[in-house]
Structure formats: C-alpha cells, structure tokens
C-alpha cells in the first residue's frame, strides 16, 4: 500500500504511521513494535500494512499457541 486515497471514505489521504500495537489473548498480552498502518486524514480509518500483517501473523499464532499450552 502507498500514500493515496482512502478506500473506505474515498476522500481522505492515507499516511503511513509506525506505531506499537498490543494484542490480548486469554488475559495475556503481546506488544509488537514497528507496526505499520495507513491512517486516513478524513475518516480516521486505520489500515494495516500488508507486510506488517505477514510479519505479525506468525508472531500472533506462536503467541496464542504458547498460551494454549500453558
């Protein structure tokens, strides 16, 4: 994804933002740094970057598996 028009509202401009995201599962938390989103200047919608989704998918699966095994 790149800077462009928001696919949700079709008005706002998307801006790349690097943030930290925390996920919870069964009362446990994992924090992921360098979590890239694209935020709309008009509607505020946040769209997760495709590369970020790929990178964090395995981390989250492993996290849930570890919690389930405890």
Q: What is the per-residue pLDDT across 17-67, written as a single tens digit (0 to 9) for each?
A: 999 999 999 999 999 999 999 999 999 999 998 999 999 999 999 999 999
- pTM comes to 0.75
Q: What is the per-residue pLDDT across 6-15, written as a single tens digit (0 to 9) for each?
A: 999 999 999 9
Measured between its terminal Cα atoms, the distance across the chain in Å is 38
Question: What residue segments make up the domains of the chain, in order of their start?
Answer: 14-69
List own/partner pairs for 47-54 with CB under 8 A and 24 or more apart.
47/1, 47/7, 47/8, 47/14, 49/1, 49/16, 50/1
What fold is seen in the domain 14-69?
Answer: Ubiquitin-like (UB roll) (3.10.20)
């Amino acid at each position: 994804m790149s800077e462009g028009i928001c696919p949700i509202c079709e008005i706002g401009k998307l801006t790349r933002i690097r943030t930290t995201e925390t996920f919870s599962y069964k009362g446990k938390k994992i924090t992921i740094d360098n979590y890239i989103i694209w935020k709309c200047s008009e509607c505020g919608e946040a769209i997760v970057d495709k590369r970020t989704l790929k990178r964090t998918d395995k981390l989250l699966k492993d996290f849930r598996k570890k919690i389930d095994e405890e």
